[in-house]
Amino acid sequence: MAPTVVIANHTTGSTPHPHILYTVEVNLDGKELTAQRRYSEFVTLHNTLNDPYNLPPKRLLTTTFIPSAWVDDALIKERKEGLAEYLTDVLSTPKYKDKVALFEFLSAQTSEHDQKFDLEDALPSTLTRNRALAIANDVNASGALIAGAYYPDWAGSAVPPEKIDFSKFDLIFFAFANPNSSSGISFNSGATSLLKRLVAAARAAGYGTRIVLSLGGWGGCYYFSQACSTAANRTKLISAIGSAINTYNLDGVDFDWEFPNNAGAGQPFSSADTANLLLVFKALRVSLGPCKIISAAVSHTPWLGANGKPLTDVSAFAAVLNYIMIMNYDVWGASPTPGPNAPIGDLCKTSKQPVASAQGAFAQWTNAKMPAAQLLLGVPLYGYVSKSSKTVLTGSSLPTMAMNILHSEEVKDEDGKTTSTFLNAMHLKDVADVVPTEQVSVTTATADLSKYWGQQIAFKDIVKAGALVKKSDGNYGQAGGFTMGWDNCSDTPYLFNKNKTTVVTYDDTWSLTDKAKFAKSSGMAGCCTWSLDQDDGFTLHTAVRVGLGLPK
C-alpha cells in the first residue's frame, strides 16, 4: 500500500516569534500519523536523512527584501505542496521509510518550548524588514552558501561522473541541451547517457548534490527567441523541459540564453525576448512546482528590455527564479594588449569596462532589485593566451606584481616583519603570498603555449604545459620560463614570457578565493565555476569553498 501524505491545514504559534506549523497527516501501511511541524524541522529531517529529494525553496531574503514578491497565502500554499511532495518521496523509498528520525518526525507533536527560532518559519507579514534583518544577523548562514559547477557534455572522458568528488558541489549544471526548431530541446550525441551516469553517481554519493539541466550556451541559443515567442511555442518548450526533468530525475533547469534581445553568437532576436522569457519562467514555475530549481546564466548587466537598455526592475523574475548566475568572465579575451579575463572590480578606476566585473555586476543586478541571496557569482577555471610581449595588462595604471617586486623597497613593520611597499603606494596583496622572490627572475624557457595563441586555455593545461607548478602549500608558482605577474587593478594573476611573446591571463587559488570571499561578504548565494573539467584535480574548487567559508 503506497503511503499518502496530506498537508492541507496549518496553524500559527507565537513563541518566540509568530510562525507557521504545518499539519502533516500520513497514512503509512494503514497506520494514521499526525504531527505539526515547522518548515525548519523539515530541513533538519532532510539533513539527518541526507536524502536526495527536494524541499520547497527558502524564501527568507525574498520576503525580507521584496515583501510584495510573496504574500503569506502564496508562500504557505507553496510550502504545503512542496513539503507533501518531499515526504511522499521519502516514504516511498525503503532506504528511508524505516528510519527512526522519520518515525519520530511523524509521530510527535511539536513542542513550543525551547525551540530555536528560524526566520524561515515566520509569516512574512509578522516581521518588519528591520526586525528580520536584526535577527538574520544573529543567524550563521554560512552553511547555506552554494558551491556549484558546470559539467559540459564533452567532459565524460576527462572527468567521468564516477570520479567526481560530489562532497565539493551543492549544484552541478549539466551543459548543454539546446532549444530546437520545433520549440523542443535536443541533446548532443551521447549526452543523455552521460547525464544518466552523472545523476546516478550524484545520488549514490549521498551528499545531496543537485543536478540541473542547462539549456543553451554561447553556440546553442539559435532557437531560444522562437521557442519563447508565442504561447504555443512556450507550451512546447515547457513540456519538453518537464519531460527531460522527469525522464532523467533532475532537480531543475538553467537557462543559458546568451543573450535575449541581442545577436549573441549570430542568433535571431526580438525586442520582445526578455518579456517572453519572463512568461516562460512564470509558466515553468507553475508547471514544475515550488521544489524544482529554475535559474539563469546572465551577463554583468540585467536583461535588455524592449528599448534595448538593461531592465531597471527584475523583481518579477526574482519572484519565480531560484538563482541567476553572473558570468563574470570573458571580459577581455586574447589580444596583443591583454587584459584580465575575470576582474573582481575596477580597483584602480582605470578600466574601460568598469561594470564588467564581479563588483560591477553585483551593483547592477541588486540595483535592479534582484536580491543578493539569489545571485551566484560565476568564476572561470580557464584563461586566455595572447601573442604579446606586454608585461602589464591593459586598463591597469599600476605595475604588475612581478614588476612591483623588482621596483619596491623593503619596510619593517612594528613586529619586525619585512614587507614590500610599492613605490606608487599601492599594495593590495602581500608579495610573499603571490610570487616567491626567488622565482621572479625569468628562467630558461621550457614551456611553449604558442599553439594556444588567440584561444582559451584550461587551468589544468597551463599546469600541464609547465608554465605553472603546484607548490607544497597547494598554490601555484611560475615555471617553464614564465614570470608570474599580479594585476592589482583586477585582482587577477597572469603569466608572461617576452622571449616567447606570450601572455596568459587566468585565475588561480588566490584570485578565486578572493572572488568567493567577495560573494560571501556581499550576501550572495555562492559561486559557480565554468567548468568542472578544467580544474587541476579539485584544487581550484577547494579554493572557492575556502573563500565561501565551507569545509574543504
Calculate mean pLDDT across residues 266-284. 97
Q: Which residues contact 309 (CB under 8 A, 6 or more apart)?
A: none
Largest Cα–Cα distance of the chain, in whole Å? 80
CB 121 within 8 A of CB 110: no
d(CA 352, CA 41): 50
For 443, the grid coordinates are 628562467
Pairing type for strands 210-216 and 252-256 reads parallel
Of the candidate ranges 61-70, 236-245, 323-332, 403-412, the one whose mean pLDDT is the lowest: 403-412
pLDDT in tens, 426-475: 223 332 333 333 333 334 448 999 999 999 999 999 999 999 999 999 99
Nearest to 87 by CA among 20, 6, 142: 6
Helix residue spans in 122-169 (DSSP H): 129-136
The residues with which 410 forms a beta bridge, in sequence order, are 420
User: Could you tell me if 269 and 263 are in contact, meaning their C-beta atoms sit under 8 angstroms apart?
Assistant: yes
Distance CA 222, CA 215 (A): 11
Separation of alpha carbons 478 and 485, rounded Å: 9
Q: How, if at all, do strands 252-256 and 293-298 pair? A: parallel
More confident residue, 429 or 59: 59
In the block, cell 546564466 appears at: 297
**Location of C-alpha cell 536526495:** 52
Spatial separation of the C-alpha atoms in residues 323 and 289, rounded to whole Å? 16
* Residue-range domain boundaries for the chain: 4-136, 143-382+509-548, 387-505
Of 159, 64, 10, 79, the C-alpha closest to 531 is 159
pTM of the model: 0.73
pLDDT band at 117 (very low <50, low <70, confident <90, very high): low
Q: Specify the CATH number for 4-136; select among 3.30.1520.10, 1.20.120.1690, 3.20.20.105, 3.40.50.300.
A: 3.30.1520.10
Q: Using the 8-state DSSP alphabet, how is residue 489 labeled?
A: T
- 83-87, 292-296, 392-396, 451-455 — which is least confidently predicted? 392-396
Task: Specify whether the CB–CB gap between 211 and 254 falls below 8 A.
Answer: no
Find residue 378's DSSP bridge partners.
Answer: 327, 528
Q: Residue 17's pLDDT is what?
A: 63
Question: Which CATH number describes the domain made up of 143-382+509-548?
Answer: 3.20.20.80
Which of 129-133, 308-312, 409-413 has the highest average model confidence (pLDDT)? 308-312
For residue 122, pLDDT over 80 is answered with no
Could you read off the pLDDT of 368-408 as tens digits, one per residue?
999 999 999 999 999 999 999 999 998 663 333 333 332 23
Helix (H/G/I), strand (E/B), else coil: 137? coil
Alpha helices in 5-71 (DSSP H): 39-49, 60-65
For the chain, give the mean pLDDT: 84
pLDDT value at position 48? Answer: 87
How many of the other CB atoms lie within 10 Å of CB of 543?
A: 25
The span from the CA of 103 to the CA of 111, in Å, is 16
Spell out the long-range contacts of 228-236 with Cβ–Cβ below 8 A and sequence spacing 24 or more: 228/273, 228/276, 228/277, 228/279, 228/280, 229/270, 229/272, 229/276, 232/183, 233/183, 234/183, 234/276, 234/279, 234/280, 234/283, 235/283, 236/182, 236/183, 236/184
